[in-house]
Structure 1
């Protein structure tokens, strides 16, 4: 698995949090919009701001729901990959980094190290070896 594939869950979670903040902003804006009753006829250019907000809110809720589904898929895929790793410490490093989204410093502390370089280097070596193993398996001898 590549670093980009491993990072999908963390990236999706960030995207969902950002969309949820935007959703809260839209909902607050929609609640604060009130129509003006003046007794005067409206212009043909007037727009339905509440309707616009409602449509955008509905779209954003759909996007969030879809991304949550993708998160579950990525989480399950990530757990299967991590479970296939033989080294217990590497499983811990991968889980802390990619499932929990910890920084390298926090990963180091969680596994009993003080230097963030230790888990990062071990991780990078593992991915390089894993990539080489995958390439060896896909090579076809003719």
Structure 2
């Protein structure tokens, strides 16, 4: 596991929310299209084409959302399974909660400084990149 991978947690979390909102808007749009219910010969073919396009776009969004969720869970599971409580708190504060190193040091307490928690995280992660 690398710092780069873990730093993606916040971005992936935001991406998940954005995709969920897009899916919700697409569902509203699709139900609006169905409510329109054009009569045959009065734009029915165009409406059918739009519905197919929306369905395709929805499937792409849904598939991407599932991939994001898998990656998000993988990264969170990595942190959750760390045996060392201090390291788990440090990585959670930094990568899950998105805090800076000073905020992480204050959160874990124990007289830790921003540099000490950063170095502890770096040392721990270095064992996974070698």
Alignment RMSD: 3.4
Q: Which has the larger radius of gyration?
A: 1
CA 1:123–1:5: 2 relative to 1, 3 Å: farther
Deviation at 1:22, TM superposition (A): 1.0
Higher relative contact order (CA 8 A, sep 6+): 2
1:7-29 deviation per Cα after TM superposition (whole angstroms, max 9, x unaligned): 23333222211111111111111
CA 1:53–1:129: 2 relative to 1, 3 Å: same
Q: Note the residue ranges of structure 1 that are not aligned, 5 or more in a row.
A: none
CA 1:131–1:102: 2 relative to 1, 3 Å: closer
Q: Note the residue ranges of structure 2 that are not aligned, 5 or more in a row.
A: none
CA distance in 2, matches of 1:52, 1:68: 24
CA 1:111–1:134: 2 relative to 1, 3 Å: closer
Higher helix proportion? 2
CA distance in 1, matches of 2:75, 2:99: 19
The alignment status of 1:25 with 2:25, answered yes or no, reads yes
Q: Does the residue aligned with 2:59 lie in a helix, a strand or coil?
A: helix
CA distance in 2, matches of 1:89, 1:123: 9
Contact map agreement 1:2 1:127 (CA 8 A) in 2: no
Match of 1:91 in 2: 88
Runs of 4+ displaced beyond 6 Å = 131-135
The alignment status of 1:101 with 2:92, answered yes or no, reads no
Instruction: Say how many residue pairs are matched.
Output: 125
